[in-house]
A and B are shown apart, each in its own frame.
Chain A
């Protein structure tokens, strides 16, 4: 968003005129790639398996993706990324299903869905809730696919002009956004990002080839793998948390009800879906908790707009339609910073960087020109994935319900097994598996001390890039920090960062920040 603002009006007008033809051409090219028999199959498989794992209560997209990463190893990069994207959407969608049917959010973004979704399910309207979630997500998916395709070229062109100073300032701005949008204490969020940056320095220093912070342990000479860190601090910690909480997991008994919402329900949901999509798309671009903020903001907005706000929390369909659309829109637009700038905005995208690196792809502005089939194929497959989710999920809801009835005492050992196999397969070594256990303990400690694991992962992935760019920038400027202020674009990012810090410390702003993250009641 910020980046879009710096583009200038003339750029935008020119873009609208000449590039709409390009856009359709590129999308058609992408469709060509994505619609090949093999890629279509991989997209389908990814969505299906992603939903299957995502439906498991308490398993968010980060853990799901890490667990399923190895099944893409035998594929070519295009197919692998299409499948991974499918797994991601599947996991997102599966999380909503669990939120509606069991009242347990698979992850933070579906917390809001539990409020009215579960109430609808208890009233025998589970089908309508799941149906409107699917339809809203589909609409949001379509819109955000077009947004991604439209923003891709101008943002990439801008990113190609970036020097190290611009990159460094942008990353700092991004990390600050992540702090401001994080839940809980600002100070703890900053501290934990720094711990992530510190972790990123472990291993061989690329410039001097000296080993850093390895304590003589040669197994970490290449640094920690992002998948190991993510699996430990997200996957393992999620299991430990679930084992502790004594939530009753009441799967909704009885009728699911008709799957398609009736005409009245559709009419009630149209506005929330459109508004949720717009909110989610914009917030999804923001680093940190942007994608998480979407559903919360949408719920609050719909409640404010409603004639009778007391219906919310008692099974109002708008309370499912809006947040679910925002959720899906944000999940998709979060790809924009990753694909164009090479900067992952949140934990899931941080993991995507790891996945892409494993397949030999360096995320960043070069992808679009050097591997257009990969870029446009993936974007087109996002839209196809949304169609698939609609087709897969509605008929298979009965299956998901049966799946949800498996008791947790059997579910978590299964999850442990899948995690172990997944981590082992990354490097075919057992060392990574017990390293994961170590990070599991670390993540558990973080939670007990009141730190969120998401900023840690973000700091870890961006830390490496940040150090590289900082060192390059300082070499170019012969050690002068003024370089970050002398270059106009970099200076813009620095000023924005300062404004953000000042705004975040204003009492009024802090109050409203706390309000947004209050679980709406």
Chain B
């Protein structure tokens, strides 16, 4: 499960200042989240202790998150730890992309099109996918889910493009 970068095997001495790239990345990630949270809550008033304002918790928690980030970064310079994990590109691009595709197409085009498209697009995340098989499969499972969700369970989900509904 844990894919480790090839750099993991290098002797500690050759790693320079950063002794645990994994912790460094985690710390920087937290700092980024903290900055985002602080920026988003910048205009909110803190209030006082007896009357806590809307900004107290977001800014306070963001500051704590940032503090943890800084500690993690500091630790990454002091203690040896694992290297960075390798990120896959194929899975995230196609799986996440297929969610975005579905979100964009469902309202204008309806489940019949959006569902089939999303299934086919997602399947590209697996290099072993077979074109003909996945096209047939996509059409079949979309049809089944239309019957199940729209007509048996009665969810108000558009099925055909531009609100057209023959039934």
Binding site for B on A (CB under 8 A): 70-71, 73-74, 187-188, 190-191, 194-195, 197-198, 201-202, 205, 207-208, 210, 212-215, 236, 239-241, 243-245, 408-410, 412-414, 416-421, 424-425, 428-434, 436-437, 440-441, 444-445, 448-451, 467, 470-471, 474-475, 477-481
Contact = CB atoms under 8 A, between A and B. Distances in A.
A201 B61 contact: yes
A441 B118 contact: no
A212 B155 contact: no
Contacts, number: 211
Contact of B102 (A212, A412, A430, A475): A430
B56 to A, nearest CB: 8
Contact of B149 (A70, A188, A410, A444): A70
A417 B142 contact: yes
Nearest to A247: B1
A474 B92 CA distance: 44
Contact of B58 (A213, A241, A479, A481): A213
B119 A414 contact: yes
Contact of B122 (A215, A416, A444): A416
B29 A445 contact: yes
A433 B99 contact: yes
A195 B30 CA distance: 8
8 contacts: A71-B149, A198-B58, A213-B41, A430-B104, A432-B103, A433-B106, A436-B99, A474-B49
Most central of A429, A431, A445, A449 by chain B CB within 10 Å: A449
B3 interface: yes
B68 interface: yes
Contacts of A434: 99-100, 103-104
Contacts of B129: 409
B107 interface: yes
Contacts of B95: 236, 239-240, 243, 412, 416, 440
B107 A430 contact: yes
Contacts of B126: 243, 408-409, 412
B111 interface: yes
Interface in B108-148: 111, 114-115, 118-120, 122-123, 125-126, 128-130, 133-134, 137-138, 141-142, 145
Nearest to B142: A417
A424 B141 contact: no
A449 B99 contact: no
A421 B111 contact: yes
- Chain B, interface size category, equals 35 or more
B2 to A, nearest CB: 9
Majority-rule SS of B interface residues? helix
Contacts of B137: 410, 413
Contacts of A191: 30, 65, 68-69, 72
Most central of B97, B104, B125 by chain A CB within 10 Å: B125
A449 B29 CA distance: 8
Given A416-B118, A420-B106, 12 more contacts: A70-B153, A198-B58, A208-B53, A244-B91, A409-B130, A412-B123, A413-B137, A424-B103, A429-B107, A445-B29, A451-B26, A480-B49
Given A187-B72, A214-B40, A449-B26, A417 B153 contact: no
Interface of B: 1, 3, 22-23, 25-26, 29-30, 33, 37, 40-41, 44, 48-55, 57-58, 61-62, 64-65, 68-69, 71-72, 84-85, 87-88, 90-92, 95-100, 102-107, 111, 114-115, 118-120, 122-123, 125-126, 128-130, 133-134, 137-138, 141-142, 145, 149, 153-157
Majority-rule SS of A interface residues? helix
A432 B157 CA distance: 14
Contacts of A197: 57, 61
Given A74-B154, A410-B134, A416-B119, A441 B50 contact: no
A101 B120 CA distance: 29
Nearest to A434: B103
B58 A201 contact: yes
A488 to B, nearest CB: 23
A437 B50 contact: no
A357 B44 CA distance: 28
B96 A236 contact: yes
Given A201-B57, A240-B92, A413 B119 contact: yes
Contacts of A188: 26, 72
A448 B128 contact: no
A202 B22 CA distance: 28
Contact of B125 (A412, A445, A451, A479): A412
Contacts of B105: 430
B77 to A, nearest CB: 15
Contacts of A245: 1
A236 B93 CA distance: 12
